[in-house]
Structure 1
């Protein structure tokens, strides 16, 4: 986990070059990452997701793939969204741009994601059982059904970010 500011303020997750994935904790053992004996690994399946977000089956749940680019990503609980750092001069500048960017974003199509509870955000190449000591963060989501929408925004001349908003539709 990368920290650009004071510890505990915002925790950023980075990947080694592929997509990030948010896997429900209840099914972490079923995510094999780049390992496995299958022709196409779980990581390969995640790499096939086209666009900013996609869903993949994992065990009896689905995981949310943050596709497109391996940008540093944080979950901002106060905003109910993942923020992906594409370009900014500082973390403060990027975080200050989130509220106005959210208000003016051209949101993409809505996807529905059912979540049994907390998820772990990490590099899709890692197996769910091997996260100790890796770049990952726990996102404490309430169980339920979420509407997921993504947008790429440029709130300033040198600031670009991707937003993935999660809105609870129906608590479980």
Structure 2
């Protein structure tokens, strides 16, 4: 796999060309990726998401698909935000621009996602049980309901996608 994001401050996940997906750990075995005997695989369903994000049923839960384009993606837990690397010379520039954009972004409408706990972000072409899958990111989320919204931080030199996860049922 070719890596576009450089090693640095945060861990980046990349795909081989398809969308990334965040599947709850509890239902990972139910994600078949591009495998399967059906006319439309789970991967095909994920590829139908042509917006910044979408939700797909997996087992008795729902996974978050990062559509739009297969950009390297990292999670900033202190901001509850997935950052998608569309264009920047360095990781430091991208992360600084993304953090600045969190307060000024033009966010999309929210969708709600019920999360049973930690999720695993990976290339949606892989089955959830693939032992050889190495490009993954485990995201520790508390069980609960989350509002999900997205924005793009466009610019001539720094261009980042943002997918913000905000827990709705915090005490």
Q: Please state which band the TM-score falls in when normalised by the shorter chain.
A: over 0.9
- How far 1:112 moved relative to its partner? 0.1
Task: Write the distance in 2 (CA, Å) between the matches of 1:19 and 1:157.
Answer: 24
**Residue equivalent to 1:4:** 6
Structure 2 stretches of 5 or more lacking a match? Answer: none
Given that 2:98 and 2:153 are in contact with CA atoms closer than 8 Å, whether structure 1 keeps it comes out as: no
Structure 1 stretches of 5 or more lacking a match? Answer: none
Given that 2:114 and 2:146 are in contact with CA atoms closer than 8 Å, whether structure 1 keeps it comes out as: yes
Task: Write the distance in 2 (CA, Å) between the matches of 1:62 and 1:147.
Answer: 13
Alpha carbons of 1:127 and 1:151: their partners in 2 closer, same or farther (altered >3 Å)?
Answer: same
**Residue equivalent to 2:135:** 135
**Residue equivalent to 1:91:** 91
Q: Deviations over 1:106-127 (max 9, x none)?
A: 1011100000000000000000
**Structure 1, 90-99 or 158-167: larger mean CA deviation:** 90-99
Given that 1:142 and 1:171 are in contact with CA atoms closer than 8 Å, whether structure 2 keeps it comes out as: no
**Mapping of residues 53-132 of structure 1, within 5 Å:** 53-132=53-132
Q: Which has the higher strand share?
A: 1
Given that 2:13 and 2:121 are in contact with CA atoms closer than 8 Å, whether structure 1 keeps it comes out as: yes
**Number of matched pairs:** 169
- How far 1:132 moved relative to its partner? 4.1
**Mapping of residues 17-36 of structure 1, within 5 Å:** 17-36=17-36
Alpha carbons of 1:60 and 1:171: their partners in 2 closer, same or farther (altered >3 Å)?
Answer: farther
Q: Is the counterpart of residue 167 in structure 1 residue 166 in structure 2?
A: yes
Task: Write the distance in 2 (CA, Å) between the matches of 1:133 and 1:30.
Answer: 15
**Secondary structure in 2 aligned to 1:46?**
helix
Task: Write the distance in 1 (CA, Å) between the matches of 2:62 and 2:80.
Answer: 19
Task: Write the distance in 1 (CA, Å) between the matches of 2:88 and 2:103.
Answer: 19
Q: Which TM-score applies when normalising by structure 1?
A: 0.93
Given that 1:21 and 1:64 are in contact with CA atoms closer than 8 Å, whether structure 2 keeps it comes out as: yes
Task: Write the distance in 1 (CA, Å) between the matches of 2:81 and 2:6.
Answer: 19
Q: Which TM-score applies when normalising by structure 2?
A: 0.94
Over the aligned positions, Cα root-mean-square deviation in angstroms equals: 1.6
Given that 2:126 and 2:133 are in contact with CA atoms closer than 8 Å, whether structure 1 keeps it comes out as: no
